[in-house]
Amino acid sequence: MALCAGLALLTRVTTGIGLILACVLLLLVLAVQESNAVRDGHRPALLRMGQALVGQRFLIPTGILAVLIAATGTLNYSRWGNPATFANYYLCFCMGCYANWVPVMQKYGMFNLQRIPFSLM
């Protein structure tokens, strides 16, 4: 899942981010389950969960995600000069097709939190 999420980040950004969040949440749930399975009265629950997160079962997917996120950031930086820019729509050929496209992008930007509910629909 970590490999698919990291590769999706390179091609489909929103899908990749959703898969990365799902993978991280899955790893956290598995860590909680693993820490609850080990009943040791001497160690606090937070310490047990920390030890569960350091196991090989969690470090390998986390490492895969970290490498692919770093590769995506490096690629985006070499393309656009910013690791968080996935596409430069100012270079798009359709800019002249819509008269109000440039002012709308200047005002709201490429990513606007107000549009998230529309995406969820």
Q: What is the mean pLDDT of residues 98-114?
A: 73
List, in order, residues 6 or more apart from 16 with CB less than 8 Å away.
5, 6, 7, 8, 9, 10
Cβ–Cβ under 8 Å, residues 83 and 71: no
Higher model confidence: residue 79 or residue 121? 79
Residues 10 and 64 both lie in one domain: yes
Residues 15 and 40 both lie in one domain: yes
Residues 15 and 32 both lie in one domain: yes
Please write the tens of the pLDDT for every residue from 18-33: 999 999 999 888 888 8
Give me the domain span that covers residue 117. 88-121
Residues 7 and 66 both lie in one domain: yes
Residues 75 and 95 both lie in one domain: no
Cβ–Cβ under 8 Å, residues 69 and 7: no
Task: Give the DSSP H/E element, type plus range, for residue 2.
Answer: helix 2-11
Residues 81 and 26 both lie in one domain: yes
| pLDDT reading at 8 higher than 80 | yes
Please write the tens of the pLDDT for every residue from 43-82: 776 777 777 777 788 889 999 999 999 999 999 899 888 8
Specify the pTM: 0.70
Residues 61 and 11 both lie in one domain: yes
Residues 42 and 80 both lie in one domain: yes
Residues 118 and 82 both lie in one domain: no
Q: Which amino acid is at 15?
A: T
User: Where does residue 42 fall: left (phi above 0), alpha (psi -120 to 50 degrees), or beta otherwise?
Assistant: alpha
Residues 83 and 116 both lie in one domain: no
Higher model confidence: residue 16 or residue 48? 16
Residues 53 and 80 both lie in one domain: yes
Number of domains in the chain: 2
List, in order, residues 6 or more apart from 14 with CB less than 8 Å away.
119
Residues 15 and 41 both lie in one domain: yes
